[in-house]
Amino acid sequence: MSLDKILAISGKPGLYELKTQTRSGFLAESLLDGKRLSVSIRHNVSVLSEIAIYTFTEEVPLREIFKKIFEKENGEKAISHKESKDKLEAYFSEVLPDYDEDRVYASDMKKVIQWYNILQSKGLTDFTEAEEEKVTEEEE
């Protein structure tokens, strides 16, 4: 499953898999407990494939950061997202050395690490781009 089907819903813990579209929004299933949730179009929803982290030179897609964490941890879980701010910053600077400290907050780092650990625990560790995205980028 690609990151195009994985959602973060504001106000809801964890990550969700997009299941189907409905008249008023869509149906999502929690990756944490498997419960299904009807989400209206009024909710603030982020698709993981559309999220990027600021660096001093560019915005790095979340899938690239997940790849780097995966390689650093040899496919195992990352540190806990509940670690101290200093430990999170030190870990994040190992994974993404040139991240912009002024625009990437500790809360962002916590989310990225928590999301990686959720995906890793579910075996969703294929962080490669979908072929369609690569073709579209080459055409531009």
Q: What is the pLDDT of residues 75-126, one digit of tens each?
A: 899 999 999 999 999 999 999 999 999 999 999 999 999 999 999 999 888 8
Separation between Cα atoms, residue 138 and residue 66, nearest integer Å: 23
- What's residue 135's pLDDT? 44
- What's residue 116's pLDDT? 95
HSE of 66 in the Cβ direction (CA atoms, 13 Å)? 25
Burial class of residue 139 in the structure, from the number of CB atoms within 10 Å of its CB (0-12 exposed, 13-18 middle, 19+ buried): exposed
Q: Is the distance from CB of 96 to CB of 71 less than 8 angstroms?
A: no
In sequence order, which residues have a C-beta less than 8 Å from that of residue 65 and are 6 or more positions away?
53, 95, 96, 112, 116
To the nearest whole number, what is the mean pLDDT of the chain?
Answer: 89
pTM: 0.86
Give the mean model confidence (pLDDT) for residues 47-62: 94
